[in-house]
Structures are given as structure tokens and as C-alpha cells.
Chains A and B, each alone.
Chain A
């Protein structure tokens, strides 16, 4: 039986999960939109972000937000280097790029397993306490996820919409060859897109670390979520990532309340099945991905 308060609670939980999924899918969809690369290593940048935050915040005692920003920048720089070294030489060979992304995924996991070990680590949340009203309980650490996601999204929107680099990004996403002829340094834009996308994944990882435990293989589950979101919303579509992420978060939250035991991955899968039967290019996707 759904009461008004349980509906409110479903919304709150769904919003938290959704905010996280949006962050995860945003970088993934950006990288696809610009590089035409299905980045299987995206989950690894998320994992790297979580570990950077863990070391800076939990071990060195830096301010959480400073650690988060540092993780975004550091992983973003790693992303730029990776793009230059691994993907730039394979430009426009989609299958080679895809396989390299898989190789990168497993190599990064392996390196991190050597460096960090494979045990799960837990991380104290930077905020504690719970907001309670007669309707909902909203743990502050979840509120933090939603808040940071909102700020990052607003920043990302401004960057894409109004900055010079943002305009170049949109131009390349629309038509790489035409952008090149307009004198846009396309190669640099590829690197920027990969860096920004990786940085976004790192923020998602740093945020989720306090909520769950972190371990070297945490990227896999997050990657699957990003996949579901981009299939829902359409690959390469930024509004699609936003809508898809929130839809998935809310649907999972609703199902968890109604049916409990059903694993959320199964739900995501069934949702994609349904959506694709109805519309083979995702909710907001274009005909050709």
C-alpha cells in the first residue's frame, strides 16, 4: 500500500540514485558524442575518482570538497593523457577503439589491484545526520550527492552552452569534418572531451564512496548503470542522460519499495527491453547514433 509519505520517500531515494546515474552517464555520453567511442573504461575513471578522494580526504584529512575537486582534476588529466596515448592513434577505427577501451579497463583494474589490494574500503561520510519531516527522511549524505550533482550539472551546462570550448565541443559532436574546416582544433577537442568526461566520472566515484564501500572492481556495476541510462536516453544526448538517469533512479526506487527482492540490474534490463521494443534509438536518441 503506497501512502503519501512512502511516495515522497520513493521520490527522495529515486532522486539520489538518479543524480548519481546522471553524473555517471553524462561523461559517458559526452565521450561517445565527440569521439564515437563506447568507453568501457568509464567505470574505471569512476573508481579512480573514488580512490583519490579516499586518499586525500580519509587519509590526509583534506576538506571533502577540495578532495572531490582534486579528484576531478587529477582524473581529468589522466583522461587527457589516456586519450592522447591510447585513442588518438586509432581515430575513427571504432572497433579498434572499443577493444582498446576494454584493454584499458582491465589494465587499470589490474594496476589498481596491485596498488590498492582487492579488499573493500569504507570511508566516513563528510556529513552526518538526517533531515526528518513528517513526510520523509533524507540522510544528509544523500542530500550531498544530490546537491553536488546539481552544482556540477549547472556548471557543465554553462560550460557547454556559453564557453568557447563548449561551443567547439558541440560543433565537433555535430559534424567533425565541418568543425575541422572551420579551424577548430578537433584533436584538442577530443582530448578535452575525454578529460571532462573522465573528470565527471571521478566526481561520481568520489561522491558515492562515502555511501557504499569502495573496491577495485566497483566500476563494473557503475558502467552497467551508465549503459542503461544512455540506452534509455539515447547515446550522445546530454538531455537524454539527464532524463534517462532520473527515470532509472525513480523506477528502481519504486520497484525496490514495491517488490523488494527484485535486483535492480534486472529492472534496468527489463526497462531497456521495453523501451527498445517501442523505440529502437532510445527515448531522446537520434536515428543514427
Chain B
């Protein structure tokens, strides 16, 4: 077991500088609106996948991520459309409300171990979906919310109408989020998260309250989901229920796994790979669902540690920390988060 802290010390900043550098050039390299739209969605999805990565780091697998994304999206959309709040206020409040909801719910459901948590979050996402159907005052029911405005920032004269302009906003937000999460993972709290994932019992023995660590991580993860949802709303300018289904939650999980859960680059690379997938499968509409399912199964079969595991030694060293999620585990650790004694 390589200590991830040592290895990761230089990798993430270097990756960040390079990635941001390349990312800033992207819109100038691709002129087409199709690609720009995909790039924008990649950044928004990366923000939400990053949020899920924070939750996964404590060993909890949440399938309700799209539900918290929806909280952010609807909050920001309604506050800006109905009450005329500025974009930034809606954006931040959307994230905060999602985090608050996660904090309240998390205190109850994070007592659940491993698979029970997973099942419960699945039920929760279905429940939130039903709730949004039955509260048209909040969500506009089946019609959704229309007339959302593109992001307007106080220090800019014009709202960010073009896809390229939105791209830079999303890139700045994502970069800040990655820097924040990287700092979090390096802090003592990040070590506590690792400890809780490896063994709650031992983590408790070293003086951390595992429950507190899990609740905070869940809230931070859902904060990012809420912010992502809010960005999503101000990008598409129209939101409805079908954007926040259970399969969207599966997609965020898939982004983490395909990219690799073991490093911050994972969810971002994963978002870059998974976001365009439906577009490329569009030519086979009838078979789209089948192909998506097959891609998912083939990935699990042949690249369980994600694309990051192909990127050479520094990342492979990092890929140790979520080994339990990707490599054969000892029998007593059969369920992620459920095996207490190891």
C-alpha cells in the first residue's frame, strides 16, 4: 500500500496547471457549436462527478447524486426566474441548499453501512423524483422551469450568452472546486476521510468521529452537486425532471469509475469520456440503450481501475487508495464500507 499523500504531493498541482492551460485553449481549437456544447457539459458534469468523488472517498456510494443536483438546479432557477435574484446569489444558494439537505438527511442515512446506504440512496432518488412530480409550485411539475437567464456577473457588462463565454465561467468554477477538494484531501480532514474509508472502527480509535467525517464529506459532495445543478440550469436555460433521473446518478458514478476513483483527475477524465457518449451513440437510436449498457459492462470487465490506471506510475501509485472499490478484496471486506474488521 503506497501512501497516497506522498505520491500525490506534486501530481495534482502539476496536473491542474497543465489541464487548465490546455482547457483554456480548447474553445479556440474547436470552433463548432457542437463541440463547445459538449465541452461546456463536460465541465458541468466534472463538477458534479468531483462532488461524488468526495463522498466516495469516505467509502459511501451514493446513488442520489442527481437528486441533490436537482435541488441546486431548481433552487437557482426559481430564485432567479421568480424572484429576480442575480445569478451568483442563485448559484451559491442552490449549492448551499443542496448541502443543507445533505447535512440533514446525511445525519440519518449515514448510519447505514455499505450496501444499505446504497439501496437507501437509490430509494431516496426515486422519492425525490416523485416529490418533484407532486410539487409543481416548486418544480413546475412536468413542464419544468422555463425562462432561466444565462449567467450574468456583476463585473461584466454582458451576460454570458455564448457557449464559449459560459465555458470560461464553468472552467474557473471547476478549477476553484478542484483546488478546494485537493486542499481538503491534503488536510488532516482528508486523512480522516481515508481512515474512515479503510476502517471506521480504527478511525474512531484515532480520535475522529467517523459519523461527523461522513456527514461533512456528504454535505461537501452534495454542495458541489448543487452548484453543478445550478450551472446546468443556467446553461440549458430550461430544466425539467427528465434531467435528474436515477440514470443521471449512475452516470456520475460511472464517470468516477471510468476515470478512476483514486485521484482527482479521475472524475474529470471520466466526465470527459462519458459526457459525449450519448452523442456518439445517437446514430443508433434504437440500440443506444443497449450499447450504453454494454459499454458499461465492458469497462467493468476490462478496465476496473479506470483510465487513470493507464497513465503511468504516479497515478498507479495513487490508484491504491480506493483499491477496495476496484481490486479483489479480502472476503471480510466484501462490501465497500460494510467490512468493519479487516
Contacts and interface: CB of A to CB of B under 8 A. Distances in A.
Contact of A265 (B113, B130, B331): B130
B296 A288 contact: no
Given A95-B326, A99-B254, A263-B130, A288 B340 contact: yes
Given A90-B301, A102-B250, A276-B109, A107 B293 contact: yes
B334 A281 contact: no
B102 interface: no
Nearest to B302: A89
A96 B304 contact: yes
Given A38-B119, A107-B294, A235-B115, A265 B289 contact: no
Interface stretch (B73-81, B121-129, B228-236): B121-129
B288 interface: yes
B339 A227 contact: no
Contacts of B301: 89-90, 96, 100
Given A86-B297, A100-B300, A227-B123, A280 B111 contact: yes
Interface residues of B, number: 52
A2 interface: no
Given A103-B297, A231-B116, A272 B336 contact: no
A16 interface: no
A116 interface: no
B328 A107 contact: no
| Chain B, interface SS category | helix
Contact of A276 (B61, B111, B288, B328): B111
Interface in A242-289: 263, 265-266, 268-269, 272-273, 276-277, 280-282, 288-289
A60 to B, nearest CB: 27
A94 interface: yes
Contacts of A268: 123
B288 A110 contact: yes
B114 A289 contact: yes
Nearest to B56: A95
Interface residues of A, number: 50
Interface string A16-40: 0000000000000000100010100
A203 B338 CA distance: 32
Nearest to B339: A288
B85 to A, nearest CB: 31
A97 B326 CA distance: 10
B333 to A, nearest CB: 9
Given A92-B329, A92-B331, A288-B338, A114 B290 contact: yes
Contacts of A230: 119
Interface in B248-293: 250, 253-254, 257, 286-293
A266 B287 contact: no
A266 B123 contact: no
B325 A95 contact: yes
Nearest to B124: A269
A95 B118 CA distance: 11
B328 A106 contact: no
A103 B299 CA distance: 10
Interface string A39-62: 000000000000000000000000
Contact of B334 (A92, A227, A273): A92
Given A36-B335, A231-B116, 8 more contacts: A90-B301, A93-B327, A94-B325, A95-B326, A96-B304, A102-B293, A280-B116, A288-B335
Q: Which 4 A-B pairs have CB atoms at the shortest separation, nearest pair first?
A: A107-B293, A110-B289, A103-B296, A110-B290
